[in-house]
Structure 1
Amino acid sequence: MEKKERFSLLLLEPGEYYFEDYIASLAITENDTWLSGRLKVCSLSLVFDPKDYHKPILKIPFTQCGSITKSSNEGSNILNIISKQHIEMLDHNVLEPYKFINELSLFRIDLKYARVEECLSLILQLHRASSLQTAEHRHMAAAIAFGRQTLITFDPTWLELGENIIMEEVGQKITPLSINSGRIVLTTLHVYFQPFNNNEVGLEFEYEINKQLYLTFKNTEIRDNFYDNSLNQSKLKMEKRERCIMTLKWQNGALSNYDYLLYLNSLADRTVNDLTQYPVFPWVVADYSSPTLDLTNSNTFRDLTKPIGALNPERLLKLQDRYNEMNAPKFLYGSHYSTPGFVLFYLVRKYPQYMLCLQNGRFDHPDRMFNSMSDTWRNVLNNMSDFKELVPEFYDTDQCCDFLTNKYAIDFGTRHDGRKVGDVELPQWANSPADFISKLRQALESDYVSNHIHHWIDLIFGFKQNGPEAIKANNVFYYLCYEGAVDLNNIRDWNQRHALEVQIMEFGQIPKQIFEKPHPPKTCLLIKDFQKLGILSNIKQYWNWKNLSVLKLFTTTKHRDIATSVKLSEDLQTVWSVGYDAMLKVHCISTQKQIRSVIVQGFPVKFNDIILPSIYTSTALIATMHGSLIVYDIDCCRITDDFRAHEDSISCLAWSKTGYLITGSLDCTARIWKAPQAPWTKIELITSLKAELEHENKVTSLALSEDNKLLATGTNVGEIFLWSFLDYSFIQQLPGHSENVNKISFSRDCSKLLSCSDDCCFKVFDSDSGLELYSNTLKCPLKTLAWDGYHVFVGGENGMLYLWDLEKFELICKVKAHSGGLFDIDVSNDGSMIATAGTDCLVHVWKTSFDI
């Protein structure tokens, strides 16, 4: 069986270029045995990989070379190298610390198929460059690499029959601690990387689960062009993962905490292919001493509202004292929560070759290694320079937990107490590495973490990441940790630039900021609430709709003018509607017969909206275009009240279960009225008006949350405002629409607000933070919407009824509901029945039907 080549870019120094490869033989001194193998010419060293894997790989640093010459023997093809130090690696193919041989040695290298003259000029050029300072050497090596890259062309023999090249660019393939330069080629069928090297802007392809190809290009223009051309290829199937959709999936419980954190890391440019920007995960468990892990006890968990450095108040006080005495730029924490060294601290048993690469062929001191979970947690709580978070491997139950065990039986050394460094010591509550990871994952997905993880997201990816909010949250790191703190491309001094790059790498990098407002909490309480209310008899069936359709049950008698508002009674026995014809119609759903059809007033007046207060069994409240509110008793067929509520048309109504009526008007106000106890009596305006909310523009829509704590109003210019319904104070303005807001509605759990507009867009907001969670633009103005808590029903000016899945935010189905515009929608609590009203003067009642 052919032996796999042992050479790896990890045997080079980080950032070192690998230029050429030659078949050769090597001997040390005149009389030594010749070894067959391959010679690698790199920017900082020559590396010889013997064919006999029992022999060590030899690395000869250029900085240690005294002379490099061609043998003087006539006809010889031998390269002579005198070096005062060389390095032995992988002796007997065992992964262990490198051996540094500090003695004068003569290496003779016999090239088998290449002429010494062909490679000597490059080797001598690299040898001369090794005397330069680090920054200047890197610049020169990059220039040499670029010059050689331009001479290399893509090998067309890789292509399949009929496959065409779309783009070909110079770029790099990035893996942890190594960069492999080459040509990146996009074809109609594939993306190819033909090895051979600079590191600026990246593009990552996930081509299998947990498999990525991380490529970098010279600049953003080339990267973006490559990306756009990739999307244009019909063979490429891209998974659409918009941030707003992923956040909603997580909120609704369709995405685990683990998967959501992985997604946020990816969105913030964190990748397992780059140790300087490795995915960061939180410590969530704070108990590593108890015999059992109690996930129902809040004391088991770390406080997720605080960064690691602020968990210990005594340590924080010392850090704050130092911070107050510091000159600008100030920082609380001199070390970061994620650096290459911290990542490999955890993963050294899994990736020992990475640690050897990072630390110049050495492992860390045995007492400083990741030996014990309880010791590590104790250290991040108390040490004045240790604030590291965790890595995703601590919660990944699909992996084999090999970062916790010394599976390669590597000699990491002996600790001060005589114990050899072996497997990581686990807490008592874990009986194996797999059990440990499983329980940490359970903790990550627990109710406590689900209810608090959004605070940690604010610290790492959100609005508490930097600026005044970071100072308030005690979350301030060294300024070079922050994205955009320094523009390296504008620094012309190579030594200064290199120094900054080294500092950035050693200090760690803050993830790219994703959220500028507080992250919404997890709100997957919907199904639990439905179960409590007894609304859904078969929860599993409801959550597994596959082929859903909307079927028309019946059409009511026709209005004489546009039907503007429709409501289903709570018991689903009747459907009520009003329109511009000043008529109120009531139909029995079971018999599909008209119960009432009355002209409410003796003179023509257009009705805009209708609500059915639950405390009045047969009473409707009707909003009119001349500013009055009509209270109509359907049983007695009479108006029980009619009062002037606004100076202009009443555009919208809302009702509180606590007996409050909210009216919105084109007179730019929303008013809150305290309704009398049943039966409804004449309202005295002076005593019943409780508050008036003034707007600069016409109020066109409003909604009250189920818990009666929040009121939302929308205007004709697209504004959306949130108000406290407890004291009627203004809370905030949301990033609304560009045109008239036609309808707004709170979710059943009050966590979200939905809106639609004449700008053809409907949006979902987090009602606590005001963060826009989702936005979708359709092909026509959207006039109305409703939701049952899980599905959104949207009505358009084109008469279409759209049904959207709120978990996946996919269009389930659409129905041509009206020949004109769809003006209003009402939906039952369980989503089984829908009523629509339209400009065609019709009111339809629909039933939902689905297959499991």
Structure 2
Amino acid sequence: MTAGGLFRIPLTLPIDRHWKLSHHENFSRMRLKLCPNFKFDPHTDASNLRDNAGEFLYFACSSHLQSVFEIPAAIRRDTGEDNLTEEDLSLVPETQAEGPESSGKEKLIISEPCELVTLMSKVWGRLEVTTSQVSFYDTSLIQKDVPERLDFKFSLSRLREVHLRRYNLRRSALEFFLTDQTNYFLNFTTKTRNKVFSRILSLRPPNLFSYSSRSPAELLRASGLTRKWVHREITNFDYLMQLNTLAGRTYNDLSQYPVFPWIIADYTSETLDLENPNSFRDLSKPIGVVNPKNIPEVKAKYDSFEDPSGTIAKFHYGTHYSNSAGVLHYLVRVEPFTSLHIELQSGRFDVADRQFHSIPQTWKLLMDNPNDVKELTPEFFYFPEFLKNMNKFDLGLLQGTKERVEDVQLPAWASNPEDFIYLHRKALESEYVSAHLHEWIDLIFGYKQKGPKAVEALNVFYYCSYEGAVDLDAIADEKERQAVEGMINNFGQTPIQLLKEPHPQRLSLDEAVAKMLKSELRRTNFTLFLDNLRPFPIEVSNEKDPIVFMSAPRSPPRSFLQASMPDTLISVSICGIVGAHSWHPHDRHSSKGFTMDVDPTLNNAKTRRKLCGPFHPSLPLNSHLFVVSHDAKFLFSGGHWDSSLRVYSLTKNKTVATVRKHFDLVTCVTLDQCGSFLLTGSRDTTCIVWDVSQLGSGSGSSTNLAPRPVRTLYGHNKAVSCVGIMTELDMAVSGSMDGTVNVHTIQEGQYIRTLEPVGLTSLDVEITFLALSPQGHVAFAANDKTSNSVHVFSVNGTNLGSKYVSGRVTGLAIAGDHLIVGDDAGDLTMSRLLRLHPVFDIPLHVPVQSVVVTTGNTHLLVPVRDGKVIVLGVTNS
């Protein structure tokens, strides 16, 4: 599977089908994708040890909690906001604060010892920051005469966010998020942390979008996230993920794992009724007292507790709603959590009856036991694979029924794990949860988290979960400090408090619609308001030279004073005429609600832009052959007679680079969402990943204008017809005229799996269109001589829906959890990604050329055969 020759991967490639979470998958702070685990361990020793131990095995978390009360009292300290002052941010001489572009020579800026934090462990090493790179070297084995090794390295240009973090309640860590959503969590001393943070900021990384020199509470206020959530501009799921991130929760530390609420209370009905309030959990109460029968016991525990030393404050709960053991309990079926669970259990699986084996049973136990207060992890809303025992671990037999623990038992209303995730996510976005979620936020992140309001709400946890409760640096005894540190690590940590006043309630759907329609600057997600979606035809070209390609809106570089300038839409006609159109998605002065000003040069033969050919006559121009850079500077094109990929400058109106790597025509090209990688497909049956992250950098004659080939992907038997790339998921996907869709990783070029259309068995099946979603859906269109169909799979290979369509698919796009299909009969339909249930249909009566979704799902752009572009948007008419 190397790029060294034309080796074909057989479609039935034997592969060790054992799976673990890929280290690169973290879009929107989510873990989505499984990858093959070639060093798979079935952990049979851990199963055997469990069975030999039987009932004498004690739950690891309990032993840890027992030790909590035996550790001498740690020293309290006052707590304040975790933010940096102007003095903190002025640690670097001005000579070093000129940015990486100021000198062509790379210089070392700072080098500091630190720890790389990974789930339940940490790796000693050294962080080095130069004028252009950030590197971490593993030095943990130097004492064993093993030389240090480079663990990770990234360009400063890839740095998107830097957040101040705490580790074991110390304000000593930093978390880096890159443009592809890869992230790293590093722990320093507090003083060193601030110095590293300041030095990085002084270099002015060009793509640094967010850095938290202010406190998390200030960041939340400044972000506008709460206003967006209140006005339904972002979903409940997205808002909770953002709150978790701002409050210091991270996938890199199990003791600070993102926390989500239990939202459903009905796990026995055959059908989940989302209109019935009784289907939902009371979000105004901590999970330990949702059952009113538990309230007296919880109150009595608090009232009767006294610590003679005065160190340990009163508390309602001796365990935490989010801790290492709880996270591993839920995710035990997926590596690396399986191995970490075994490590926490002293080398063995926990006994079967204590494993997570049933969602209804887990809920029942929570309601019966006020001492078990586990909330959920985000995986309950997007990752069905954690409910399956795909690796076939021996998880034991239940004592009562002697039933073997395999997949997690689901509620009666869910037919399979994918169905559960779909309905559970739908419940999270329901009207009931939307109306009451602010109450749960007050408990976890807000004004009921601490103090008298927390006492009143029965929401006080053991003191060591709160920031400021202990000062590890002040504990002189090494063993005592390690014991306290271990206790914090395993007990769990309360999120940083983000609000000290009640959180506002979300607008109802009717209120949000009314307010949105009156707003001067609407941020309308059309998938939420399909009843108000209307088409508007825009005359761009004519039926002799129709538009075959239109880009999503692109934002050219602009100054602060130009922030309100319109975006750009790039179009290409069937004759190769390029248009650069002005696009304003929100215009209160327009009856349409938007403005699209057609490029005036299209009407003048002397001024209009035309792509240099020749294009190969056997490949008519189509939407697969073009893609536009994110800054609207460059148009990439395939289909040229010399099998090249070409770069056309939209500012200079000429081809500025021609690169050849394929051995036959380039048939399709696409760009990722973060502007790092381009993917091309060819008639030579291969795909090539190109690095375009530095395109346009440099100055004068040294300006970098040619994409750099990174790796070649193999596996098809016929020409590649369509491609998709999602760098955030480390996923390159290709469809072929051989009827298959192949999935590879980008970073290593590793073959993952082949997807095939369901129900089509003839030998002449072709894949014609392909679309990817940030949630890891792979949608594609397939046809043979007698039928046309669309199919949706999860990133992990599960078929989520397939259906036949009447016409030949000519446009395919994903918006949120909807699949949009256009065909050559002039129909435009929208369906739910799961099950492909239709929700919207509009006859355009003219064959569709392509389908484009604008940023934020505000509009649909649909070029049609007569030269017009149909713009669909939400109106108040």
Give yes or no for TM over 0.5: no
Q: Determine which structure has the larger strand proportion and give its number.
A: 1
- Report 1 or 2 for greater relative contact order, CA contacts < 8 Å, sequence distance ≥ 6: 2
Normalised to the residue count of structure 2, the TM-score between the two structures is 0.43
Say which one has the larger Rg: 1
Normalised to the residue count of structure 1, the TM-score between the two structures is 0.44
